[in-house]
Amino acid sequence: MIPLSHADWTDAMPKDFVSDKLARRRLRHVKERIIEFILFLAASVSVATTLGIVLILLKESFVFFRIVSLWDFLTDTQWTPLFADAHYGIMPLLSGTLVSSAVALLVAIPLGTIIAIYLSEFAPFSVREVAKPFLELLGGIPTIVYGYFALMFVTPLLQKIIPGLPGFNLLSAGLVMGIMIIPYVSSVSEDAMRAVPMALREGSYAMGATRFQTATRVVTPAAFSGIAAAYILGISRAVGETMILAVAAGMQPNLTWNPLEPAATITAYIVQVALGDLPHGSIGYQTIFAAGLTLALLTLFFNVLGHLLRKRYRQVY
Amino acid sequence: MVSTAAPEISAAAAAEPAPVKKAESKSLSFYYGDFQALKNISMPIYDKKVTALIGPSGCGKSTYLRCFNRMHDLYPGNRYDGQIMLYPDNTNLLNPAVDPIEVRMRISMVFQKPNPFPKSIYENVAYGLRVRGERKRAILDEKVEEALRGAALWDEVKDRLHELAFNLSGGQQQRLCIARALATDPEILLFDEPTSALDPIATASIEQLLADLKEKLTILIVTHNMQQAARVSDYTAYMYLGELIEFGVTDTIFIKPRNKQTEDYITGRFG
C-alpha cells in the first residue's frame, strides 16, 4: 500500500476517513467483549452465592418466625425445639458461641500478635523461613482433628488442673480453637507489619528507641488497620467454627457464661439437626435457618466493625 | 586534604573564634557486605557549625552521615572500619562497646522524606522522651512546646496538638520531624537531604531553621542541591565514589576549590 502523504489526507480524503491500518478490528473487539463477559461471570459466582444463601436464610427463617415470635426467640432462656415442651430462645446457643469464641480469641489474639511481632521485627531470616510454613500447617489441619485433640488430650489435661471439669466443656474446645486460629491472626498481622515502610522504623531507631519500643509503639500502630483485619478474620473463624465445638463442647444447649460448663453453640446445633432425621418443613427443621441467620448476622456485625476500624485507622504512606 | 584554616573570606567570619571539633572521622571506611562504600575518610565536624556533604548520587554521602548514629547497625552484613571520635567525650562512636542507642540519644537524625509516626503531633514530638522513660506530663508539655518552637512549628499547630501528624502538609511534617529530633536536646543533628521532598517555600523555611539551630547544636547535612549547601553551610565536603575529594570552608570550596574535580562538580560540568 502506498503511504498517504499529508496532502492526500487533507485534500482528497473525506473527513471521517480512517485508514485501514487504524480501523477498529471487529473480531478483536468481539473477542475482548467475550473475555470481559467470562471474567464478569467468574466474579458473579461469589456474589450470587452470597445472595442466594442470604435469600434462603431469610425465606426459611420467615417460615420459622411466623410460628415463633421474634421476641420469644430473643428473650426465651431455653432452646428445646425438639422437646414436647418446645422453647425457641436463641440465647443458650448464642452464649455458647460467644463464650467459646471469647476463650479462643483470648488465646489467638495475644499469641497471634506476639508471633507476628516476633516474625516481622525480631526473627532472623532463617527462623522466619522455617517458622512460617509450620504456622501455616497449623491452619491446614482439619478441624475435626483439633476437635478430638481437645476432647481426648486437652480436656483430660485440664481435668487434672481443674477437678470436676466435665468431659465436654467450652474451655477445652475454646483453647484448642484458639490454637487453630493463631495462624490466621499471625500471618495477616505479620503481612501488615512488614508492609510498614522501613523509613518509619529508622525514624524510631534514630530517636534512640529499642527494637521492642519500635515494634510496639511505631510498627504496630502503623499496621493497625491490617492487624484489625486479622483480628476480625480470627473472630469470624471462631464464631463460625463447628467441628471442634461439636466434638469437644457437647451438644446440650445451656445458657451459661461459664467456660467450665458444657454448652452447644449455634454451629454445633445446626450440625446436630442437619444430620438428624427431622422431616423437612417441620418447625424443628426450620430452627436451623433461624439459627443460621443469627450466625450470619453475628459475622456480618464483626465484618462491618472490622471495616469501620480499618477505615478509621487506615494509613497512607 | 583537610583544611583547618579559619574562615578568611568575610570579616565577620574572621572575627569568630577558631572552630572547635565536635566530632571527627578518622580513616573511616564502610562496607555493605563486600562492597566498600566509604574509603578512608578523615574529616572534622566543627561544633555549632553546619557541615554540608555534597557529591553525585552514590558517592557515599548518606552512607557517611548514617555512620554517625550507627544506623548501619540495623542491617546485617554492614561493617565499619576506622573511627568516629566524639568530643568532648573523646570516644570512638564505632567502638562495639559503645551502645548505638546511647549514640542515637545524643546524635539525632532527620530523614529525606518526612516520616512522622502514626501518632498525634504531640506524641510524635514526645516520642524520644517517652522512649527514655519520661512520664511527667509537665516536663513533656514543656519539652514538646520548646521543640515545636525550635522547629518554627508551634504557632501553626498549638491548637491541634492532638491531631494526627499525617494531617500536616509535607513541609510541616518535616519540621515536625525536626522538632521530634530536637526534643531530646541532641548535640549533633544529622540531615539526610531534608528538603528533597519539599517545595521551594517549605525548603526556604527549613533552611532558615538550620541557620537558627546551629546556634545551639552541630549540624551535618547531606544535600543534592549545591545552592543549598552554599546557602546554609559553614563547611563543605565534596565526595566522589566513596572518597573525600575536598573539605573546606564553604565559601572557599565554592569560590576557589583547590581540586579540579570539585570545581567541575560545583560549576555543573559534571554530575
Question: pLDDT at residue A12 above 80?
Answer: no
- B11 band by pLDDT with thresholds 50, 70 and 90: very low
Q: What is the mean pLDDT of residues B113-129?
A: 92
| Contact present, B181 and B218 (Cβ < 8 Å) | no
A104 pLDDT more than 90? yes
pLDDT exceeds 50 at position B184: yes
% of chain B exceeding 90 in pLDDT: 37
Q: Is residue B12 over pLDDT 50?
A: no
- Residue A163's pLDDT is what? 87
Q: Which domain holds residue B33?
A: 11-266
* CB neighbour burial string for B111-145, b if at least 16 within 10 angstroms, e if fewer: bbbbbbbbbbbbbbbbbbbbbeeeeeeeebeebbb
Q: Which residues of A touch B177 (CB under 8 A)?
A: 203
Cell output for A302: 464483626
Distance from CA of A119 to the nearest CA of B (A): 16
What is the Cα–Cα distance from B44 to B234, expressed in whole angstroms? Answer: 12
Residue pLDDT, tens place only, A208-223: 999 999 999 999 989 9
Write out chain A residues lying below 8 Å of B74, CB-based.
201-202, 205
Question: Is 90 exceeded by the pLDDT of residue A110?
Answer: yes
Q: Of A124, A202, A209, which has the smallest distance from its Cβ to B71's Cβ?
A: A202
pLDDT classification of A11: cutoffs 50, 70, 90: low
Question: What is the rounded CA–CA span in Å between residue A233 and residue A235?
Answer: 5
Under an 8 A CB cutoff, do A205 and B131 touch? no
Is residue B271, in this structure, part of any structural domain at all? no
Contact A158, A172 (CB under 8 A): yes
CA distances from A104 to A155, A174, A181, A220 (A): 15, 5, 8, 22
The CATH number for B234's domain is 3.40.50.300
Residue B148 in domain: yes
**Per-residue model confidence (pLDDT) at position B236:** 92
- For chain A, list the strands marked E by DSSP: none
Q: What pLDDT, on a 0 to 100 scale, did the predictor assign at position B53?
A: 93
Residues in A closer than 8 angstroms to B144, CB to CB, are: none
Q: Could you read off the pLDDT of A138-196 as tens digits, one per residue?
A: 888 999 999 999 999 999 999 999 888 888 999 999 999 999 999 999 999 999 999 99
Q: Which long-range contacts (CB under 8 A, 24 or more apart) does A165-168 make?
A: A165/A260, A166/A250, A166/A260, A166/A261, A166/A262, A167/A262, A168/A248, A168/A249, A168/A250, A168/A252, A168/A262
Contact: A205, B71; criterion CB under 8 Å:
yes
Who wins on pLDDT, B203 or A108? Answer: A108
Contacts of B130 in chain A (CB under 8 A): 217
Residues 6+ apart with CB under 8 A from A298: A94, A97, A239
pLDDT score of A2 more than 50:
yes
Nearest to A233 by CA among A134, A120, A309: A309
Inter-chain contact A315–B118, Cβ cutoff 8 Å? yes
Mean pLDDT of B24-32: 90
Q: How confident is the model at residue B195 (pLDDT cuts 50, 70, 90)?
A: confident
pLDDT at site A13: 62
For chain B, the average pLDDT equals 87
pLDDT in tens, A298-310: 999 988 888 888 7
A285 or B14, higher pLDDT:
A285
Q: How far apart, in whole angstroms, are the C-alpha atoms of residue A59 and residue A200? A: 52
Q: Mean pLDDT across the stretch B167-182?
A: 91
What pLDDT is stored for residue B3 in this prediction?
46
Inform me whether the pLDDT recorded for A9 exceeds 60. Answer: no
Q: What is the pLDDT of residues B30-70, one digit of tens each?
A: 999 889 999 999 999 999 999 999 988 888 899 999 999 99
Q: How many structural domains does chain B have?
A: 1
Residue A7 pLDDT > 60: no
B2, part of any domain: no
Asked whether residue B150 is domain-assigned, the answer is yes
- Predicted confidence at residue A26, as pLDDT, reads 80
pLDDT at residue A112 in the model:
95
Task: Say how far apart CA A313 and CA B74 lie, in whole Å.
Answer: 28
Residue whose C-alpha cell is 418466625: A65
pLDDT of residue B14: 47
With CB atoms and an 8 Å threshold, state whether A206 touches B119.
no
pLDDT of amino acid B19: 83
In a domain, B122, yes or no: yes
Instruction: Tell me what pLDDT residue B2 has.
Output: 46
| Higher pLDDT among residues A158 and B15, named by residue | A158
Average pLDDT value over all residues in chain A: 87
Per-residue model confidence (pLDDT) at position B5: 45
Chain A residues bordering chain B (beta-carbon distance below 8 Å): 124, 197, 199-210, 213, 217-218, 221-222, 224, 315-316
Could you report the per-residue pLDDT of A247-273, keeping only the tens digit for each?
888 888 888 888 888 888 999 988 888
